[in-house]
Structures are given as structure tokens and as C-alpha cells.
């Protein structure tokens, strides 16, 4: 248990000559005693928070006042039994896990619920048990601010005598010591002290005699001291510090009024108090400056008013400027959408504040952060590192480390920081050892890795302290014994993979000149059955380096001679032989060199034979795999990256394993579409991409039929586990008696292996395994609003459909095709009979998927009918441009790229009816239109392919000077980019009728969105933002937006439930990540050693207070604290322009729309 130093915050009540020292800032005013003390009768009621609700029970909702139900009583009994068993583990010698955070919180909540239901009765049966659970929890986990406030409220209800009041005061002091910087707790403490001071004065005035010592205990000195501490602890809290400081300032002015007129020293102190306050950015700074003006005009000479206020205004303006820089971050914290966005907002704010030259504001921000995420060890680590870097000499560093380890007792990193900080500041070894003991005996220190971090730091302290000159024998023996004990505990292979503690012992023994013992440690590392490192070349290099430095050439050669004897098992014998040869050549003698060269020559031959044998064995494995490939398959090496867009989106390049070193190059790809973005990224043209071998689902897919109807994916994967890597897995229920699975493997050898599972039994069923040839149908030219259900309904008569795959629309919103995979090839043949059928005015294309039959791309850009126009006058409208270009031919469509506020960006695309018209319009190139010269060119597919040739799908324009131009998204005419969206609309009307639709699948196009939303009113525009899994829908009427939002929240489009949020929430969401081929969802993920930061993931799992994931947050709850890309100032300002809409907002919009309709009638 970590004991907090409660005396730091406890008021010293017996002193008659207190002095408030200005240790943190000059805002804590030095006050000499004696001075006349004011009476609470002279203060305004606002000083005592009389304008706020006094009784907390008035806020209790109806449900909270109801007695516990039968199920809740049973749950409470189970929790009490569970927590008793966990807390009494040592007494009962039961090996059990410590009490979990969630269990403790739930138990306290149920116990307090009963207390509230009893109307806070003194006779409540479980009152003592409630407080006992609170104390128990505090010994292991932190209490949240809300739990502290509940506890203090419960204690204050029946604290009627002076002893009760003192007990409550001490509990308040304890709370602010545990949760440093909490404005909520300090405000409650100040409120309690002020009101108790007033009550004490009333008792003294009523009785005439202060027999019980109320007035003596709760006097003005105590009040002033508590408020001074509160101000010192919270003064840099930007949004809320004024809640404390205003009361403190009011108290000082109250004292000034009690002093006889002419007390210039007190006036100067209050003036300095104001000026110091005005230097600090805070939310209420305007009111502070106004109050300072009133103070100056009241208490200082009127002739000096102007000069004083001019000087004060300079201070005020500088702080106000600093406040304005922080307000955008504060706004994001208040209005963040969801846990991920809130964590990102904290991370960016902290990163920015850390870069500023104001450590006090940075410290206050970190205080707020750890109050928000009290059990997030990553947040505490960032806080500690900030303090050590910016305020390393601050006396609060050691108490801060105590707080950190009290909140996250499972974090070896935080305990290590604390041990190291005590060592650096030359604290006694006994104190450091006590901290180490607290850490390693904590019931939450269960992870061996975390325990090892603590012991490693402790061993470093022992090593450094043990070699200090003049150390006494006791400390020396303790250091040596501690190091050897740690080696025994962590030496075996496992946690200490780099034998760091053993190396510390070697360094210790070397520095005290005990070389034989040091070498014995090295030999133990070499030969010990548990710690053996003889097969690691890095071990031998370290051993050799130590020997050469301390034992000379002979010792180093002896080590290398032993090392090369392990040539058969060494992971890099060639390296050790090279070092051995260099050592002999540089430091050996003639005869020794000659003998060693012969030995080295024999060693190199042996190692060469070993490598030859290893290569032969690898070749035999490869040949055995190649022999299993049937004729017709081309074996060339590595499997190529797939260009199948909808399934292989953003597949990382990686080296194929030896078992996968097969290229099915002769198998044509299923998809005839290539990913434009991928071609851009790799710098390849479409022609080059087509030459590449791609993933073929049909020839790599098998159907497993007659599966048990209740079988799950994991069971089927295990059934085919030995056959090879599974790229994709789909299961459907064929009927009530059986199920069918579609399994795509990574190469042809895996398919052959899978066929051997035919007629094998799974859970008592005989499984049928069939190849998936000719079961996939390519379908296109269907209505734009068609979704998976529409496709399934269209082909339902053909046979069972396993899967419908739509392409990703992230890079081209006009792609409209899909692949329909049937259960049998006969069913696919039936589906092709619908080819050419008229469906809702569209001539349907339905053919067996055959990549050898390539279809020429069509459309304006590929037919040379599209022109790209730049440098358009911003005042020109679409009608103006149509009128200008229509003299060359019929203009079918105009797409002006939007700037985001109803203004175009000065460029766009025009589609003519014929290519001749488009070419004729080039006469306008460099012709002046309104105030600007137009630049007009024929659009070409991106990559430079001719207009009538195949390409990646994007368009770009080439100008005579060689420059190119292309839109960010060459898809929907109403598409915009994320960068354009950063500038929020400047019209409230537009903002109110605009919906940000979140969680949109990347297979959804704008037509589908329109079909869903236009049922609720006419639409002004639809913008797809698939890079953010979103769409922007703007209605013509505000009331229609409100109706759509209320009706469609949770509505499913393409299997995804949409939601509504803010523009900030949309921009913070990344593109949809597709499952990567070969990824097993049931396999354990390998830890990314490069990602050592907490985020990372900012992202760690975060839950809102008071909840914690497991045992106080061993699963990190809060911030990832990854470095985020810094945005421009302008972009950051723009992000705060739009507030997220709530249901209440939209109901108000709906009502407003109805009222407008009534007015028009």
C-alpha cells in the first residue's frame, strides 16, 4: 500500500502566527500576522457559494433513491464475498487475484445506493461497510473525483459537532492530496471551509462564549491558508481556475475593508495579486481585468488611474493572446466526438503545450489529463517525462512520482522512474529500497515484465551505490547480495533476454577489481543450462570485449577460442571467426599466428559445409513443393501482389515464405479493374500493372459442403489448417441441416492439399470438398442505387449465392460493377442468361468472370470528350461557362470543383457530346474570360495513356508547358477533399441543414445515399467522403435535415449502421481497412516492437471515468500519446468552427421548420 503524505495539504490549526509563503507563484500572497481579521458577517452570500445548491441529495434522481432489488442484493452479497476473499488473501493463504477495479467500484456504488435510499440515515446497516470498502479501494486504486465527492458528502451529513467537522476537513485535505490539481475537489474543500467558518462565527455570536473551540479552530487564518493552497494548486488551470481564485481575491478585499483606511501595504499586495493573475491565461480573464479596473479606481489615486491601467492592459493583452491560442484546443476537448477523438484532442493539446515556453501551464494541463484518465499509465509516463525535462528541479517531482505509482501500481516504468529520481536526488538507500519493496510486493504487480523493469532499475542503483568510495561494508554487502539475487531470479532465459542484470553484476565486480568473480559470471552465462548463451554471437562479442579490456590479449584470445568451438550451433559463426582472425593478426605473435591461421582455415571449411548442407535441405524442401504443382502452373518465384481492388486494398509488400514460394502466373485474374491509387503509389502504368500476376479467386477457391449447421469459422479453419494459408473465408447456411463454406487459399498447392480433405469427417459429418471453377459472375450496368440485397434478389432464382463483392469506391465513385459467387457452376451459367436483360432502364451485363476478355473503357475522358479548364474567374457561374463553351457543341455536363462555401476553386471539367466539339473548344485556351485567361486542355487518363486506351481510372490534364492538373477525386461531380472540408461554411443556414453521415461503407455511392435521404426532403447536394467512411448531405430545408437525422440514425446501408456526427469526427476517421488476404482473425497478433508508445492508439482501450478495463487499467484507458502530424494554424482554427449536432438540436430544427411553414401559410 502506498501511503500518501497527507500533511502536505492538511491545515495547521494551532499556530497563531502563520505566514502564507509564495512558493509556486507570486499569486499566493505573503501575509504577515497579526492583521485585523474580517468577519464572515461582512461578506456577501456569494462568497459562501450560497447561489449554488447546498444539499447534494437534491440532485439524486428517482432511481437512485429506490431500495435495492432482489437481484441487486444478491449481486452485492457476491461482490462482498469476492472482495473479502481477495483482500484477505495473505491471512487465508489463498492464492487469488487482487480485487478488480470494476468490482470495487460496483460494490461501493451498490452500498451507497442503499445509503441514499435510506435517506442518508445514521442507522443504515452498511454505513461502516461502505466506508471500509472505500478505504480498501484507496489502498490499491485511485478514487475518481465523483467518488471522493460522494464520500465527503456522506461524511458531512452527520458531522454536527466540532470533531465531526475536523474529520471532514481532514478527509477533504486527503482528497486534494490524492488528486492534485482537481478544481472540483478544491472547490468543495473551499466551500466547506468557508461555510464552516461562517457557522463557527454564528455559534460564537449566539452563545457569547466559544466553549467548544469552534471559532478558534475554524478561524480566518485557516480559511486564508486553505484558499491560498487551493489557488497555488489550481491557478494554471485555464478553464476553471477562476472558480477558486475569485473567492480568494474576494477574501483579500474583505480583509482590506477590515483594515483601517490608509493601509497602503495591503493595497499594494492586492494590486500585485491582480497583476500576477493577469499574467496567467484563464477563461475568466476579461472579468479579472474588469475587477482590477474597479479596484484601481476605488483604492488608488484617480490621477494614476490611466497610467496604472495602461501598464495592466499590456499584461492583460499578452495573456489574452496566449488564451486565444489555447481556446481552440479547449473547444475540441469540450466538443470531442467519441473516445478516440477525445484522446486525439488531448494528445495534440499536450504536444502543442509542451512545445510552448510555459512549464507551469504544461504541468496544469497534464494534471487535468491524469484526472481525466487516472489509471492510464501512458498518461502518467508522459506527465513524468515532461516534468523531468521542463521542471526537473521542481520539489513537486518526487511527490508527483508518488502519486503516479499510487494510481498505477502495476506500471514498472513508473516505479522505475521513481526509484531513479530518488537515486539522482541522493536520497538514502533505505528509502529507495522501501520504494522497491512497495513496488514488487504490490498485489497489482503481477506482470513479470513490469516486475523486471523495477528490479533492473534497482540493480542499477545497487551497482552505482556499491562502487562509491568510502561505502560501508553493510551497504557494499547489500549491493552485491542484491545483484546476485536478481541474477538468480531473472537470469534464466525468459524475461531478461539480454542478460542485463548479469551484465550489471559483471560491471560491479569489475569496478571493485574482482575479475575472477566477474569472469565466473560470464562462464555461467555460457554454460548454465537455463541461462546458456553459447549459441548467440552477440554474447561472445560482449564477452570478448570485456576480456580484451580487462584480461588483455591472452584473455580475449581464450574467449574467442572457446567461442569458435560452438561453430555448429552459433547463429553467425562467420562473424566470430572474423573477429578471431583480426585479434590474432593484430595482437598475436609469429608462431601463434601461423597455428591460428590453420585453425581458422579448417573452421571456415566446416562452416561452409554447414551452410552448404542447410542450402541443400532448403532446396529439397522447395523441390518437394514444386513437385506437388500440376502441369499448367507456372512456378517462377514469389507470389505477386494482387491488383484486385475490393479485396486487396492497401495490402503491404512482404516477402513470401518458402512454403508459399509459388506463383500462379498462368491463372488470369478475376477482376479486370485495377486500383488507381496503387498504380500511382508504385509508379506503374496500367500496361505494366496488367503484366503482373494477380490473385485468382476462382482457381484458388474450394467449397466445403455438408458442414454441420452449427459449425463455426474457427472449427472449419482448423479442419483445413494443414492444407495451407487461407486468404478468405465465407460461410452460408444452405438449409437447416447443413452449411457450406467458401475457402480461398493462397496458392495452387494449398488447393490440392485441401482436396485431400474430401470425404473426411468433421464433427461426425462427411465433408465434400469441390473446386470453385466457373462459379463467379461479373455483373455491371445495373442501377446506381443497387445494393447487395438488390443483387441477391435479382439472381435468387439462379441458385444459392455465397457472396456478393462490390469494389471500393474510395478512388473512383463512378465504378459500378460487382462479382456474384454462386454455390455451383450450373447456377453461374443460369445467371449469365440474364445478360442483356433490361433492368429499370439499364441493359444488364452478366457474364462469367473471364479476365482474358478485356473491355475497352468508355466515358468522356476515354473517348476524348472531356476538357479540363483552369483559371476560371471566381465570379463566373456554371451558366456563364456553359454559354461560353456551347458555341463549340453540346455540353452534356459541367463539374466545377467546389471550394466549400458555395464558391468554386477556379477549375473544373466539361463533358461534350462529341470529341470533335471538345477539340474545337481548345480555341478558348489562353483567351480572356471576364478578368482571367482560361487554360483549356483535353483531359487524359492519369498515367498519360491516350484517351481511348486503358488506364488506371483517374484523369489528369496536360498543359502545353508540361504542367499537369487533376482533381483530388476524379469521381463524383460533387466530391470534395478533406483539405477542402477544413474550411467550415460561414453560413449558419447551410450548417443547420447539412448532415455529416458517418460509418459509410466504401462500396456506397452517392446515388445510394440520395435514394435513402431524399425521402425526407429535396437535397441540395451529396458529397462522398469515403476516405473518411462518410458522406455529406445538404438539404434544401432545415426541417428536412432534422427529420432525416431523427429517422435514419442507426439505419443500415450496405450492412453498416450509419450515424451522425460533427465534421471534426468525420475528418478524424480514416479510410475503411480491408481484411488482408491470408490474415487469420483467430491468430494472436505479434507485438510490434517498434510501437512502444502508448497510443498508440492513443490506441489503447479507453473507458470513461470511473470505469477501468481490468484491475485498475492494466489495459490502458486513455491516450495513445503518439506524436500527431501538426496542422497549420489556419487549419486548426477552422476545425473549431462547427459544433456537433445532438438529437435535441435536430428536434429544435424540426420544430423551427414547422413554425416557418405555418408563418408562410
pLDDT tens, 830-844? Answer: 999 999 999 888 889
Report which of 736, 738, 734, 743 is spatially closest to residue 711, judged by C-alpha positions.
Answer: 738
State residue 858's pLDDT score.
65
- With a cut of 70, which residues of the chain have pLDDT below it? 1-35, 51-64, 88-97, 207-211, 262, 470, 491-494, 529-531, 625, 627-695, 733-736, 851-859, 899-902, 942-987, 1074-1161
CA distance 468 to 462: 10
CB 291 within 8 A of CB 249: yes
Peptide bond into 34 cis (omega under 30): yes
pLDDT at 22: 33
CA distance 170 to 196: 13
**Per-residue pLDDT tens over the stretch 155-186:** 999 888 889 999 999 999 999 999 989 999 99
Structure letter (DSSP) for residue 735: S
Which ranges of 645-767 does DSSP label H, i.e. alpha helix?
Answer: 676-682, 686-691, 713-719, 748-755
- Give kind and range of the element (H or E) at residue 980: helix 978-981
> Per-residue b/e over 685-694, b at no fewer than 16 CB within 10 Å?
bbeebbeebb
Determine the 3-state secondary structure of 240 from DSSP: coil
Question: Which SS3 state, helix, strand or coil, does residue 1027 take?
Answer: helix
Cβ-contact 730, 802 below 8 angstroms:
yes
Residue-averaged pLDDT of the chain:
77
pLDDT given for residue 773 in this prediction: 78
Distant-in-sequence, close-in-space partners of 999: CB < 8 Å, separation ≥ 6: 1029, 1030, 1056, 1057, 1058, 1059
Q: Cell numbers at residue 946, please?
A: 491516350
Q: What is the pLDDT of residue 416?
A: 94
- Other C-beta atoms lying within 10 Å of the C-beta of residue 610: 14
CA-to-CA distance for 800 and 822, rounded, in angstroms?
6
pLDDT, position 730:
81
Q: Which residues contact 1032 (CB under 8 A, 6 or more apart)?
A: 976, 981, 994, 995, 996, 997, 1021, 1022, 1023, 1025, 1066
Distance of CA 706 to the CA centre of its chain: 44
Which residues does 503 contact at the CB level (< 8 Å), separation at least 6? 542
How far apart CA 695 and CA 692 sit, in angstroms, is: 10
Q: What is the pLDDT of residue 853?
A: 63
Number of neighbouring beta carbons within 10 Å of residue 820: 25
Extended strands (E) in 737-807: 739-745, 761-762, 765-766, 768-771, 776-780, 801-805
The candidate with the shortest Cα–Cα distance to 1134, out of 896, 874, 875, 900, is: 900
- Round to whole Å and give the CA distance between 465 and 856: 79
Grid look-up 484507458 returns 1117
Amino acid at each position: 500500500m502506498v501511503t500518501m503524505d497527507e500533511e502536505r495539504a492538511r491545515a495547521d490549526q494551532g499556530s497563531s502566527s502563520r505566514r502564507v509563503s509564495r512558493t509556486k507563484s507570486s499569486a499566493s500572497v505573503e501575509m504577515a500576522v497579526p492583521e485585523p481579521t474580517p468577519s464572515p458577517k461582512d461578506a456577501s452570500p456569494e462568497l459562501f457559494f450560497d447561489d449554488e445548491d447546498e444539499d447534494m441529495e437534491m440532485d439524486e434522481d428517482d432511481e437512485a433513491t429506490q431500495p435495492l432489488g432482489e437481484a441487486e442484493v444478491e449481486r452485492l452479497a457476491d461482490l462482498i464475498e469476492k472482495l473479502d476473499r481477495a483482500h484477505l488473501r495473505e491471512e487465508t493463504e489463498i492464492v487469488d487475484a487482487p480485487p478488480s477495479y470494476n468490482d470495487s467500484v460496483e460494490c461501493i456504488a451498490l452500498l451507497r445506493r442503499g445509503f441514499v435510499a435510506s435517506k442518508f440515515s445514521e442507522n443504515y446497516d452498511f454505513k461502516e461497510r461502505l466506508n471500509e470498502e472505500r478505504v480498501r479501494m484507496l489502498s490499491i486504486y485511485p478514487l475518481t473525483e465523483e467518488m471522493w465527492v460522494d464520500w465527503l458528502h456522506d461524511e458531512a451529513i452527520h458531522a454536527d459537532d466540532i470533531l465531526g467537522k475536523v474529520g471532514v476537513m481532514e478527509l477533504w485535505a486527503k482528497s486534494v492530496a490524492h488528486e492534485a490539481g482537481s478544481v472540483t475537489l478544491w472547490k468543495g474543500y473551499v466551500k466547506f471551509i468557508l461555510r464552516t467558518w461562517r457557522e463557527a462565527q454564528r455559534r460564537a455570536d449566539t452563545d457569547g462564549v466559544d466553549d467548544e473551540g469552534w471559532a478558534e479552530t475554524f478561524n480566518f487564518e485557516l480559511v486564508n491558508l486553505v484558499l491560498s493552497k487551493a489557488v497555488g494548486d489550481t491557478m494554471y488551470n485555464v478553464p476553471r481556475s477562476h472558480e477558486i481564485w475569485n473567492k480568494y481575491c474576494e477574501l483579500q478585499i474583505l480583509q482590506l475593508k477590515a483594515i483601517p483606511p490608509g493601509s497602503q501595504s495591503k493595497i499594494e499586495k492586492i494590486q500585485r495579486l491582480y497583476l500576477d493573475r493577469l499574467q496567467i491565461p484563464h477563461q475568466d480573464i476579461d472579468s479579472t481585468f474588469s475587477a482590477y479596473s474597479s479596484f484601481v479606481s476605488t483604492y488608488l489615486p484617480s490621477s494614476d488611474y490611466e497610467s496604472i491601467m495602461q501598464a495592466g492592459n499590456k499584461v492583460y493583452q499578452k495573456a489574452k493572446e496566449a488564451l486565444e491560442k489555447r481556446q481552440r484546443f479547449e473547444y475540441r476537448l469540450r466538443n470531442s466526438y467519441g473516445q478516440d477523438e477525445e484522446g486525439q484532442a488531448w494528445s495534440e493539446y499536450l504536444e502543442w503545450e509542451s512545445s510552448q515556453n510555459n512549464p507551469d501551464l504544461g504541468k496544469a494541463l497534464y494534471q487535468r489529463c491524469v484526472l481525466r484518465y487516472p489509471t492510464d499509465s501512458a498518461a502518467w509516463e508522459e506527465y513524468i517525462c515532461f516534468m523531468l525535462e521542463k521542471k526537473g528541479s521542481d520539489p513537486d517531482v518526487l511527490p508527483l512520482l508518488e502519486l503516479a505509482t499510487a494510481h498505477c501500481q502495476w506500471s514498472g516504468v513508473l516505479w522505475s522512474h521513481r526509484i531513479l529520481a530518488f537515486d539522482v536526488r541522493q536520497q538514502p538507500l533505505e528509502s529507495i529500497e522501501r520504494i522497491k519493496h512497495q513496488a514488487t510486493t504490490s498485489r497489482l504487480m503481477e506482470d513479470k515484465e513490469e516486475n523486471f523493469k523495477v528490479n533492473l532499475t534497482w540493480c542499477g542503483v545497487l551497482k552505482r551505490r556499491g562502487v562509491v568510495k568510502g561505502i560501508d561494508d553493510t551497504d557494499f554487502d547489500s549491493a552485491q547480495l542484491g545483484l546476485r539475487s536478481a541474477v538468480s531470479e531473472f537470469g534464466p532465459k525468459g524475461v531478461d533476454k539480454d542478460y542485463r542484470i548479469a551484465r550489471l553484476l559483471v560491471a560491479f565486480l569489475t569496478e571493485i577489481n574482482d575479475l575472477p568473480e566477474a569472469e565466473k559470471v560470464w562462464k555461467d552465462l555460457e554454460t548454465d543450462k537455463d541461462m546458456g548463451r553459447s549459441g548467440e554471437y552477440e554474447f561472445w562479442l560482449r564477452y570478448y570485449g570485456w576480456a580484451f579490456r580487462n584480461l588483455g590479449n591472452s584473455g580475449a584470445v581464450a574467449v574467442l577460442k572457446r567461442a569458435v568451438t560452438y561453430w555448429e550451433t552459433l547463429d553467425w559463426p562467420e562473424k566470430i571467426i572474423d573477429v578471431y582472425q583480426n585479434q590474432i593478426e593484430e595482437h598475436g605473435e609469429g608462431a601463434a599466428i601461423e597455428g591460428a591461421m590453420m585453425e581458422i582455415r579448417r573452421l571456415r571449411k566446416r562452416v561452409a559445409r554447414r551452410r552448404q548442407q542447410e542450402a541443400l535441405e532448403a532446396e529439397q524442401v522447395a523441390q518437394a513443393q514444386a513437385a506437388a504443382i500440376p502441369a499448367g502452373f507456372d512456378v517462377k518465384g514469389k507470389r505477386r501482389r494482387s491488383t484486385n481492388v475490393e479485396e486487396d486494398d492497401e495490402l503491404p509488400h512482404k516477402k513470401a515464405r518458402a512454403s508459399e514460394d509459388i506463383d500462379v502466373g498462368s491463372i488470369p485474374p478475376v477482376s479486370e479493374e485495377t486500383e488507381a491509387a496503387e498504380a500511382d503509389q508504385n509508379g506503374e502504368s496500367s500496361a505494366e500493372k496488367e503484366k503482373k500476376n494477380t490473385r485468382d479467386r476462382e482457381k484458388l477457391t474450394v467449397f466445403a459442403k455438408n458442414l454441420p449447421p452449427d459449425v463455426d469459422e474457427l472449427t472449419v479453419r482448423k479442419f483445413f489448417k494443414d492444407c495451407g494459408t487461407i486468404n478468405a473465408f465465407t460461410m452460408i447456411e444452405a438449409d437447416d441441416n447443413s452449411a457450406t463454406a467458401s475457402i480461398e487459399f493462397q496458392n495452387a498447392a494449398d488447393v490440392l492439399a485441401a482436396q485431400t480433405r474430401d470425404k473426411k469427417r468433421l464433427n461426425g459429418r462427411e465433408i465434400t470438398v469441390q473446386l470453385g471453377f466457373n462459379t463467379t459472375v461479373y455483373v455491371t450496368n445495373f442501377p446506381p442505387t443497387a445494393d447487395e440485397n438488390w443483387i441477391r434478389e435479382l439472381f435468387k432464382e439462379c441458385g444459392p449465392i455465397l457472396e456478393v463483392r462490390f469494389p471500393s469506391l474510395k478512388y473512383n465513385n463512378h465504378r459500378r460493377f460487382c462479382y456474384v459467387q454462386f454455390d455451383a457452376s450450373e447456377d453461374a451459367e443460369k445467371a449469365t442468361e440474364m445478360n442483356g436483360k433490361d433492368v429499370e432502364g439499364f441493359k444488364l451485363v452478366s457474364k462469367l468472370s473471364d479476365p482474358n476478355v478485356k473491355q475497352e473503357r468508355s466515358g468522356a475522358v476515354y473517348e476524348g470528350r472531356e476538357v479540363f479548364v483552369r483559371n476560371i474567374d471566381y465570379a463566373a457561374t456554371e451558366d456563364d461557362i456553359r454559354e461560353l463553351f456551347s458555341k463549340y457543341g453540346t455540353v452534356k455536363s459541367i463539374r466545377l470543383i467546389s471550394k466549400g462555401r458555395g464558391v468554386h476553386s477556379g477549375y473544373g471539367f466539361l463533358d461534350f457530346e462529341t470529341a470533335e466539339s471538345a477539340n474545337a473548344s481548345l480555341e478558348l485556351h489562353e483567351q480572356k474570360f471576364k478578368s482571367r485567361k482560361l487554360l483549356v486542355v483535353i483531359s487524359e487518363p492519369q498515367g498519360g495513356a491516350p484517351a481511348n486506351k486503358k488506364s488506371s481510372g483517374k484523369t489528369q490534364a496536360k498543359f502545353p508547358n508540361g504542367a499537369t492538373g487533376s482533381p483530388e477525386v476524379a469521381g463524383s461531380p460533387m466530391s470534395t477533399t478533406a483539405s477542402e472540408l477544413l474550411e467550415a461554411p460561414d453560413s449558419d443556414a447551410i450548417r443547420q441543414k447539412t448532415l455529416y453521415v458517418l460509418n459509410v461503407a466504401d462500396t456506397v455511392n452517392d446515388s445510394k445515399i440520395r435514394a435513402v435521404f431524399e425521402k425526407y426532403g429535396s437535397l441540395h447536394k451529396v458529397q462522398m467522403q469515403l476516405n473518411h467512411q462518410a458522406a455529406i448531405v445538404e438539404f434544401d430545408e432545415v426541417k428536412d435535415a432534422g427529420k432525416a437525422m431523427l429517422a435514419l440514425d442507426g439505419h443500415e446501408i450496405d450492412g453498416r449502421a450509419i450515424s451522425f456526427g460533427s465534421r471534426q469526427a468525420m475528418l478524424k476517421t480514416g479510410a475503411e481497412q480491408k481484411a488482408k488476404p491470408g490474415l487469420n482473425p483467430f491468430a494472436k497478433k505479434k507485438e510490434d516492437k517498434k510501437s512502444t508508445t502508448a497510443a498508440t492508439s492513443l490506441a489503447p482501450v479507453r473507458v470513461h471515468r470511473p470505469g477501468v478495463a481490468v484491475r485498475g487499467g492494466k489495459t490502458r484507458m486513455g491516450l495513445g500519446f503518439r506524436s500527431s502530424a501538426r496542422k497549420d494554424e489556419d487549419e486548426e482554427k477552422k476545425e473549431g468552427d462547427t459544433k456537433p449536432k445532438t438529437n435535441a438540436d435536430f428536434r429544435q430544427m424540426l420544430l423551427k421548420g414547422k413554425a416557418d411553414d405555418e408563418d408562410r401559410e
